[in-house]
């Protein structure tokens, strides 16, 4: 069954029974089935990512398969605690009542996955939804057809359609899905499409988790370990050919270490990808010719405006390959400085004083991630004086992977959080239940005579 409306109707009809019947044992069994499916299809996953991105099998293992298995393992280990009913202490006015919070599945969830990590960012939210007890309609990206087809086949083999169903297709299918009254929508993608998703969710009053993106900046201070910074920057920027929502977008580097960082980055690119990076099997391809052309246009526009090509420039449009590029001399009025790069192109921007850098970051949209390389004083100042979804100090990308850290954006970079307990909460309704045992509140019910007035005055003195 692939009709979106029919699939939704089946899952919606069974949602009330699942609310009480999909207990911890059933949820653990579902997670076990998902883990077994991922392991059984490991070779198929690597082949699909090779077909879509020419992605190296080791990179697929590290960035697509292992994060999903870690998410499953973490959820299994902590599910009992996450599902536990939590008692709450009464306030003064609630003496005589018993309060508790009961986590319940929101119901039927829609997951719209992106193309850049088409397995990880589809199955990661699915783990959270199953842990929370929700059924799911999953729409993978049409931009990665091999992985999309594999997800459809793999999940159809693993789950009945009333629990997990995959709907393939393009924007027209997404539009049909967004018109349905899902209980929760989890979307990963661009801020522009995120606004469309949020507008559609408003029509049905569905709750949303939006994992978006933005221009994630890096600040390299004068005391930074340049060799360490270059290693983390090269990896964080160029794995998956820079098509990562939390990849470093541009680097503000103190002028005193700018030349050293540029040279160290060249050395890291050579070490990771060899003398002809565009043909390296370790470097993924771009997802489409259109995306390659967009990036080439950003590079050419920057060079025409006076920027300098410090490294790279090789590649092939037909093969969708692009060698890592380092640019210097970019300016604010260039298009590359205005839009998220989302590719293997890294501008280096020297600075002398930190304050203008912070003003520039705070003057733009709030990024999904911000990275700092330097001492604790620099990291603490940047963390305190900027707003971002997450902060990484002397590393890149890793805040996304930590299972006990919430991952999410702020403002135009996202809404809500995912992973671990925060992912469980995203798909759960924390229902408050209050039981009256001996509440004194009826003493304050109308009619409002002198006795009630005096009692209210006493209460006022106690609570203020």
Q: What distance in Å separates the CA atoms of residue 12 and residue 182, rounded to the nearest whole number?
A: 9
3-state SS of 179-226?
CCCCCEEEEECCHHHHHHHHHHHHHHCCEEEEECCCCCEEEECCCCCH
Cα–Cα distance list, 311 to 157, 275, 314, 347, 355 (Å):
47, 12, 9, 10, 29
User: Is residue 325 reached through a cis peptide bond, with omega within 30 degrees of 0 on the bond before it?
Assistant: no
Q: What is the 3-state secondary structure (H, E, C) of 110-167?
A: EEECCCCCCCHHHHHHHHHHHHHCCEEEEECCCCCHHHHHHHHHHHHHHCCCCCEEEC
CB-hemisphere CA count at 13 Å for 177? Answer: 32
Query: Please, what is the angle between helix 191-204 and helix 171-178, to 10°?
Result: 30
Does the annotation mark 134 as catalytic? no
If phi > 0 it is left, if psi is from -120 to 50 it is alpha, else beta; for residue 113 that is beta
d(CA 395, CA 382): 15
245 is catalytic: yes
* Catalytic site residue from 59, 64, 245, 262: 245
| Choice among 59, 211, 268, 422 that is catalytic | 211
Tell me the C-alpha distance between 322 and 288, whole Å. Answer: 12
End-to-end CA distance of the chain: 60
Residue 295 parent element (H or E): helix 289-304
Q: What Cα–Cα distance (Å) separates residue 59 from each residue in 71, 121, 160, 397? A: 18, 15, 31, 14
Torsion of CA 12, 13, 19, 20, to 10 degrees: -170
CA angle, 260 then 264 then 268, to 5° = 170
Closest CA to 192 of 220, 218, 214: 214
User: Which residues carry out catalysis?
Assistant: 211, 245
């Amino acid at each position: 069954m692939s009709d979106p409306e029919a699939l939704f109707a089946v899952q919606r009809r069974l949602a009330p029974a699942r609310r009480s019947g999909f207990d911890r044992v059933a949820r653990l069994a579902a997670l076990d089935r998902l883990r077994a499916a991922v392991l059984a299809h490991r070779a198929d996953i690597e082949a699909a990512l090779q077909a879509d991105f020419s992605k190296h099998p080791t990179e697929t293992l590290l960035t697509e398969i292992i994060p999903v298995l870690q998410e499953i393992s973490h959820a299994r280990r902590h599910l009992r605690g996450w599902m536990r009913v939590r008692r709450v202490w009464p306030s003064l006015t609630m003496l005589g009542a018993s309060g508790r919070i009961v986590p319940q599945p929101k119901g039927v969830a829609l997951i719209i996955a992106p193309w850049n990590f088409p397995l990880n960012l589809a199955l990661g939210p699915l783990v959270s939804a199953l842990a929370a007890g929700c059924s799911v309609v999953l729409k993978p990206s049409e931009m990665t057809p091999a992985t999309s087809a594999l997800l459809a086949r793999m999940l159809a083999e693993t789950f009945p359609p009333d629990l997990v169903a995959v709907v393939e297709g393009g924007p027209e299918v997404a539009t049909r899905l967004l018109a349905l009254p899902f209980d929760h929508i989890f979307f990963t993608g661009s801020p522009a499409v995120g606004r469309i998703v949020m507008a559609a969710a408003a029509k049905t009053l569905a709750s949303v988790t939006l994992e978006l993106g933005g221009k994630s900046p890096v600040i390299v201070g004068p005391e930074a370990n340049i060799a360490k910074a270059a290693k983390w920057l090269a990896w964080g920027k160029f794995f998956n050919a820079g098509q990562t929502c939390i990849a470093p977008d541009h680097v503000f580097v103190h002028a005193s270490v700018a030349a050293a960082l540029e040279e160290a980055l060249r050395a890291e690119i050579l070490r990771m990808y060899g003398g002809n990076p565009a043909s390296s099997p370790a470097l993924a391809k771009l997802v489409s010719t259109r995306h390659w052309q967009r990036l080439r246009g950003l590079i050419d526009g920057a060079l025409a405006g006076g920027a300098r090509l410090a490294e790279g420039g090789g590649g092939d449009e037909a093969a969708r390959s692009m060698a890592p590029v380092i640019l210097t001399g970019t300016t604010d009025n260039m298009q590359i400085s205005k839009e998220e790069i989302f590719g293997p192109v890294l501008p280096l921007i020297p600075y002398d004083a930190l304050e203008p850098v912070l003003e520039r970051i705070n003057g733009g949209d709030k990024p999904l991630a911000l990275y700092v390389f330097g001492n604790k004083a620099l990291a603490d100042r940047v963390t305190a004086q900027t707003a971002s979804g997450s902060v990484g100090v002397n590393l890149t990308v890793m805040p996304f992977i930590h299972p006990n850290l919430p991952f999410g954006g702020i403002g135009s970079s996202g809404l809500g959080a995912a992973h671990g307990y925060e992912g469980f909460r995203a798909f759960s309704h924390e229902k408050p239940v209050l039981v009256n045992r001996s509440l004194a509140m009826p003493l304050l019910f109308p009619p409002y005579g002198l006795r009630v007035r005096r009692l209210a005055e006493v209460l006022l003195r106690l609570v203020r």
